Amino acid sequence: MPLSTNVTRPFSGSRLLLKFQRLHISSGVSSFTRGFAFHQGSRLPPGFSLSSRGSVFHRGVAISPRSFVFRTFSSSGFDFRSLHEVVSPNDYTKYYIPKPGEVLDFLNRHYQFPRKTNNDKVLKIKCPKCRPKKSNFFSIEINVNDGTYRCNECMTKGTWKDYMQLITKTSTFQVINSTQMGIGCPSYLSSPEEIEQYSNELQNYPKVIEKFENNHGITLTTLLAYKVGIATYCNIKSNSSIEISRQDAKELCITFPRMAPCFDDQDQDNILRYKVARIKAYSVEDYEFITFDPPSVHSGLFGYHLVPLECETIILTGNEYDAMTVYQETQIPATCLPNNGYQLPIEILPLLERFSKIYIWLNDDVQGQDAAEKFAQKLGIDRCLIVNTRCNNFDGPINASQALTMGKNLNEILSLAKPLQHEQILNFDNLKEAVYREVINPGQVRGISSKDLPALTQILKGHRPGELTIFTGPTGSGKTTILSQLSLDYCKSGVSTLWGSFEIPNIRLAKKMLTQFAGEDLSKNPGEFMNWAQKFQQLPMYFLKFFGSTEVSTVIDAMNHAIYAFDVQHIIIDNLQFMISEQGKFTDRWELQDRTISAFRRFATDKNVHITMVVHPKKDSRELLDMSSIFGSAKISQEADNVIILQKIESEDGDERYLHIKKNRFDGTLGAIPIEFIPNSLKIRHLRKKKFQEVNHLFADKQIFEKYSSNTKNWRSCKPFTRTIPVS
Ligand SMILES: Nc1ncnc2c1ncn2[C@@H]1O[C@H](COP(=O)(O)OP(=O)(O)OP(=O)(O)O)[C@@H](O)[C@H]1O
């Protein structure tokens, strides 16, 4: 059958001639062997779908029923991405349903003020395509619940994500990671041939196999099915001694391959095969030490090769151990999150598109269940079921691995999985489990601790989602430096972070962060650069491409996208004044600032992310800053959950700085932390005892650290001066 057509790229507005060709892979070089031409007007073959960027999928996998792998090319040339990259990062799952209120909020923010219709669920809006011709014509009907739309004039129609992209033109390209900035290594650390051999090595390490059996109940058969292997990786410990040559700091690792579908043209049977797309390696000695190969490409899923093509159900667990346990016990294909931590990158979503039922089986604690709800939203709540391992038995197992070692029946636990509630109104019965989880996990409710500045955790009790922190201080006092360090600190604990640096270019910020990450000035030791860059690029750290004055709505769209695409939990805006400069010429500057703060405040609450916003003080003076020095009206201090001021005390012998926590809505504890700067690593730390004694008179004059100074015997265990005020 001649297959040739002129296929319209959905909603791009341009027509793209696509020719689907069979991919030929020989000696690592792609070439096309046989071509099909599609004639205008004909359709894609049954079962095929076309992604918004032109990739062809069959039931979510880039194949045809005859196991052909297709590629697209346009007049701009061939697209020779390797198979696992065929997945477009712009692809949203077709199952996605917006959250209640999301549609209306978006329309208002983009000045698409809708008109009511007789049907409560349907609103009328202007069509962006027809509008230039008929300026007042409300020709689009949009469903406020699921966001699907249709224009009665130009017949454009699509999903909610299509409409959003039509209006904002927001894309992944506004958010980049360190690899896209040229930091680190974009390709494999080991050769693909070496990687394929890792699984054969496992049987030479009976002690490792024994540990899996004895500690986790995972059998050799399961390990072999998942192609778990053994390999040596260099320098995966973050504290590997710098004196040892990097090549010598080898670590024996257990490898967990992420598999992606592929087609080998040499193979006459035309059978779909799977290849290792990425390796996750844990040190045999210490599971805390982990590396990925390649470091930053997110592709493939653990155990994906075990899913039969016709299978419509999959279990998504938090880690490899849980996935293997669940598969072993239930015989249902099980995979795990691709990264280290609660992230489900959009590159992975198309691999999950073919499933009509997805069990999400993460840890049954506050963070795990929050993540499960977030992923269900991302994957489409109608096809997801969330597993609660404890099954209301509150001293029950927290995850699948523990359930097996406690002798529980995993099939039974799975059968009690529940869908996520659609409704906004919940009764106490719905909330009971969540409340109990919070009661028995107080540490997780408090938030993530700072490892670099424990005193900050002592006062603020941790870094929590849903809060707005205002950070201020005199010009050039080190605000960006501290936030870079703190964000890195939380990011290392798995907090996916988005930086909006409107004042300094991303590359300079990333350089500062890399120096802090390495803990040394890499320009004095350039040989170390690549090692640190490779580790750095494995962190979930993203950057907004915007610089200087940027419309708040555009920033919010990009933040929304980053939350969907990269599961961002912490957003840093540096700084408010630069972001809104040159805007609102005819409106009051303070009013614009207030409106912006309100928008970010609402965003933090709605999306359950922590936003840290740098705000310049009203004027630079040598006096210590206070809440009233921040700027504008009292709005900012009302809206913020935390206010931190970087204070600078100038003296003839130099200056001293301390972090002043002026507001803490969580439990009201306020306090001050004297800090010192280490120029070599560009990091700050608590002021050391000896130094504190030397400069104590400066603080004593200001009556900041009375309690602190009276107890300097044992500096490390000494508490910073804090006081608690009642929370309003
Ligand atoms: N605590 C500190 N002591 C001395 N120097 C510091 C300290 N913190 C940062 N620096 C240095 O001061 C310079 C300015 O730092 P940074 O850009 O972080 O300040 P900032 O407050 O964000 O500046 P701006 O007000 O322009 O936004 C940098 O060169 C940095 O290395």
ipTM entry:
0.97
For 359-369, give one letter per residue: b (16+ CB within 10 A) or e: bbbbbbbbbbb
SS3 433: helix
Q: Which residue has the tokens 């804090």?
A: 722
What's residue 522's pLDDT? 85
Encode pLDDT of 41-71 as tens digits: 234 444 445 444 444 455 455 433 222 333 3
Lowest mean pLDDT, pick from 300-309, 406-415, 529-538: 529-538
Q: Which of 200, 258, 260, 206 is nearest to 230 (CA)?
A: 200
Q: Could you give all domains of the chain from N- to C-terminal order, each with its CATH number?
A: 5-85 (no CATH), 116-168 (no CATH), 189-305 (no CATH), 307-443 (3.40.1360.10), 454-724 (3.40.50.300)
Q: Which has more confidence, 518 or 582? A: 518
Ligand 1, atom 26: nearest CA belongs to which residue?
476
> Taking 90 as the threshold, does the pLDDT of residue 358 lie above it?
yes
Lowest mean pLDDT, pick from 61-70, 426-435, 660-669: 61-70
Lowest mean pLDDT, pick from 179-188, 334-343, 657-666: 179-188
What's residue 177's pLDDT? 75
Q: What is the mean pLDDT of residues 497-503?
A: 92
> Taking 80 as the threshold, does the pLDDT of residue 414 lie above it?
yes
> Taking 50 as the threshold, does the pLDDT of residue 235 lie above it?
yes
Q: What is the mean pLDDT of residues 3-10?
A: 29
Q: What is the mean pLDDT of residues 140-152?
A: 88
Encode pLDDT of 556-590 as tens digits: 888 988 888 888 999 999 988 888 887 766 567 77
pLDDT bracket for residue 712 (50, 70, 90): very low
What's residue 174's pLDDT? 74
Give the helix/strand (H/E) hosting 104: helix 102-109
Encode pLDDT of 25-44 as tens digits: 222 222 222 223 232 223 44
Q: How far apart are CA 687 and CA 347, in angstroms?
A: 44
Ligand 1, atom 2: nearest CA belongs to which residue?
677
Ligand 1, atom 6: nearest CA belongs to which residue?
478
Q: How far apart are CA 211 and CA 283, in angstroms?
A: 14
- Answer for the pair 538, 179: CB distance below 8 angstroms, yes or no: no
Please report how the helices 366-379 and 428-440 are oriented relative to each other, as an axis angle in degrees rounded to 10.
130
| Ligand 1: centre distance to CA 457 (Å) | 22
| Ligand 1: centre distance to CA 477 (Å) | 5
State the closest ligand 1 atom to the C-alpha of 477, by its place in the atom list counted from 1.
21
Long-range Cβ contacts of 514-518 (<8 Å, 24+ apart)? 514/178, 514/183, 515/681, 515/682, 516/484, 516/485, 516/488, 516/681, 516/682, 516/683, 517/488, 518/681
State the closest ligand 1 atom to the C-alpha of 679, by its place in the atom list counted from 1.
31
State the closest ligand 1 atom to the C-alpha of 657, by its place in the atom list counted from 1.
1
| Ligand 1: centre distance to CA 164 (Å) | 39
Q: How far apart are CA 623 and CA 650, in angstroms?
A: 9
Backbone angles phi, psi at 217, to 5 degrees: 70, 20
Encode pLDDT of 683-699 as tens digits: 998 887 777 777 766 66
Q: How far apart are CA 494 and CA 541, in angstroms?
A: 10
Q: What is the mean pLDDT of residues 262-277?
A: 65
Spell out which residues line ligand 1, taking CB within 6 angstroms.
473, 475-481, 503, 657, 677, 682, 684
Q: What is the mean pLDDT of residues 468-496?
A: 93
Residues facing residue 229 across a β-bridge: 255
Left, alpha or beta for 478 (phi > 0: left; psi -120 to 50: alpha)?
left
Which of 475, 477, 650 to probe ligand 1 with, by most ligand atoms within 8 A of CB? 477
Q: How far apart are CA 378 and CA 367, in angstroms?
A: 16
Q: Which has more confidence, 169 or 156? A: 156
Q: What is the mean pLDDT of residues 239-253?
A: 57
Q: Which of 180, 12, 98, 57 is nearest to 563 (CA)?
A: 98
Residue 490 has a CB neighbour count (10 Å cut-off) of 23
> Taking 50 as the threshold, does the pLDDT of residue 381 lie above it?
yes
Q: Which has more confidence, 9 or 359? A: 359
> Taking 70 as the threshold, does the pLDDT of residue 601 lie above it?
yes
Q: What is the mean pLDDT of residues 475-495?
A: 93
Find all residues with CB under 8 Å of 413, minimum gap 6, and list them: 387, 389, 391, 400, 403
Which of 480, 577, 683 to probe ligand 1 with, by most ligand atoms within 8 A of CB? 480
Q: For the chain, how big is the Rg over CA atoms in Å?
A: 27
Q: How far apart are CA 568 and CA 103, in angstroms?
A: 21
Find all residues with CB under 8 Å of 639, minimum gap 6, and list them: 468, 597, 598, 601
Lowest mean pLDDT, pick from 333-337, 455-459, 677-681: 455-459
> Taking 80 as the threshold, does the pLDDT of residue 440 lie above it?
no
| Ligand 1: centre distance to CA 572 (Å) | 16
Backbone angles phi, psi at 130, to 5 degrees: -85, -25
Name the E strands within 27-139.
29-36, 48-50, 56-58, 70-71, 73-74, 77-78, 115-116, 122-125
Q: What percent of the chain has pLDDT over 90?
A: 24
Ligand 1, atom 25: nearest CA belongs to which residue?
475
State the closest ligand 1 atom to the C-alpha of 646, by its place in the atom list counted from 1.
21
Q: How far apart are CA 552 and CA 712, in angstroms?
A: 47
pLDDT bracket for residue 604 (50, 70, 90): very high
The winner for highest mean pLDDT among 37-41, 44-48, 275-279, 426-430 is 275-279
Q: How far apart are CA 93 and CA 105, in angstroms?
A: 21
> What is the DSSP code string of 335-390?
EE-SSSSS---TTTHHHHTT-SEEEEE--SSHHHHHHHHHHHHHH-GGGEEE--TT
What's residue 86's pLDDT? 34
Q: What is the mean pLDDT of residues 260-283?
A: 72
Residues facing residue 22 across a β-bridge: 70
Lowest mean pLDDT, pick from 235-249, 254-268, 477-491: 235-249
What's residue 570's pLDDT? 96
Q: Which of 5, 114, 23, 103 is nearest to 71 (CA)?
A: 23
| Ligand 1: centre distance to CA 682 (Å) | 9
> Taking 50 as the threshold, does the pLDDT of residue 22 lie above it?
no
pLDDT bracket for residue 486 (50, 70, 90): very high
Ligand 1, atom 23: nearest CA belongs to which residue?
476
The winner for highest mean pLDDT among 246-250, 358-362, 663-667 is 358-362
pLDDT bracket for residue 523 (50, 70, 90): confident
What's residue 12's pLDDT? 26
| Ligand 1: centre distance to CA 508 (Å) | 13
Q: How far is CA 337 from CA 260, 266, 333, 349, 385, in A?
A: 14, 32, 14, 11, 16
